[in-house]
Amino acid sequence: MRLVGEENPVKQVTFLIDDEAIGTITEAPYRLQFHTDDYALGLHSLSAEVQLQDGTTLQTESIQANFISADKEGNFVSTTLISIFGVIVVSFIIIAIIQTVLFKGKRGQNGAQKGHYGLLGGTVCPKCGKPFPRHIWGMNLVVGRFDRCDHCGKWVMTTRATPAALSAAEDLIQEKPTQPQEANLPPEKTLEQRLEDSKYIDQ
């Protein structure tokens, strides 16, 4: 427990729990440490009597505090963290399902214009090697942003790519696929040539 406020006019502070004094501090800082295990579990009233240098005594407003055991506190923290993590995971799954449904059949149509990737920057998909802007709905997982590629539609872990890497990936998209070389087939023979060749077919 500690006294919050101007300390110069203060002569001493007596701290109370449930209106019973647990200690008096006569010099700043006016703080008193105690163990909640020394008291019954449940709600308690915390307050203080402040005696000023001029002899005036002031009573602070009481604060309600709930004393719980270490085991219950650990269970409460664990339950709270698990609940928060569960909400995050469920929210991410819902977002992923919604994005998959909305963008189904639209792969490759949502890429940014060349050199423009928005506030979050661009990245290169590790699956298809094509650049796309990182989306605000992507999940930030500290090591990277789990996001959906606009081209192949897969969810991948991404990091902000450098301008050089984005430019190289853009060049790959601009390149036209090479056409397979056609075999050097002889020109189609005329009907007369085929008739002439048929003379030499062994029957």
Residue type, position 121, single letter: G
Mean pLDDT (whole number) for 34-59: 91
Whether 106 has a pLDDT exceeding 50, the answer reads no
Q: How many CA atoms lie within 13 A of 179 on its CB side?
A: 3
Q: Where are the alpha helices (DSSP H) in the chain?
A: 70-102, 163-174, 191-197
For residue 51, give the 3-state DSSP assignment: strand
Please tell me the predicted confidence (pLDDT) of residue 177. 53
User: In the chain, what are the domains?
Assistant: 10-70 (2.60.40.10), 106-174 (no CATH)
Residue type, position 118, single letter: G
Residue with tokens 């853009």: 170
Of 188 and 30, the structure prediction assigns the larger pLDDT to 30
Chain-centroid distance of CA 171 in Å reads: 31
Alpha-carbon gap, residue 106 to 132, rounded angstroms: 14
Of 59 and 112, the structure prediction assigns the larger pLDDT to 59
Residue 85 main-chain phi, psi, to 5 deg: -60, -40
Mean pLDDT of the chain, nearest integer: 80
Q: How far is CA 65 from CA 18, 20, 94, 152, 189, in A?
A: 10, 15, 39, 55, 101
Residues 6+ apart with CB under 8 A from 14: 21, 23, 24, 48, 49, 51
Angle at 169 between CA 135 and CA 175, to 5 degrees: 130
Question: Which of 68-72, 142-146, 176-180 has the least mean pLDDT?
Answer: 176-180
Percent of the chain with pLDDT over 70: 76
Please tell me the predicted confidence (pLDDT) of residue 199. 57
Question: Which pTM was predicted?
Answer: 0.39
Please tell me the predicted confidence (pLDDT) of residue 183. 47
Of 124 and 194, the structure prediction assigns the larger pLDDT to 124
Residue 157 main-chain phi, psi, to 5 deg: -85, 125
Alpha-carbon gap, residue 90 to 98, rounded angstroms: 12
Both structure tokens of 97: 């399902």
Alpha-carbon gap, residue 169 to 162, rounded angstroms: 11
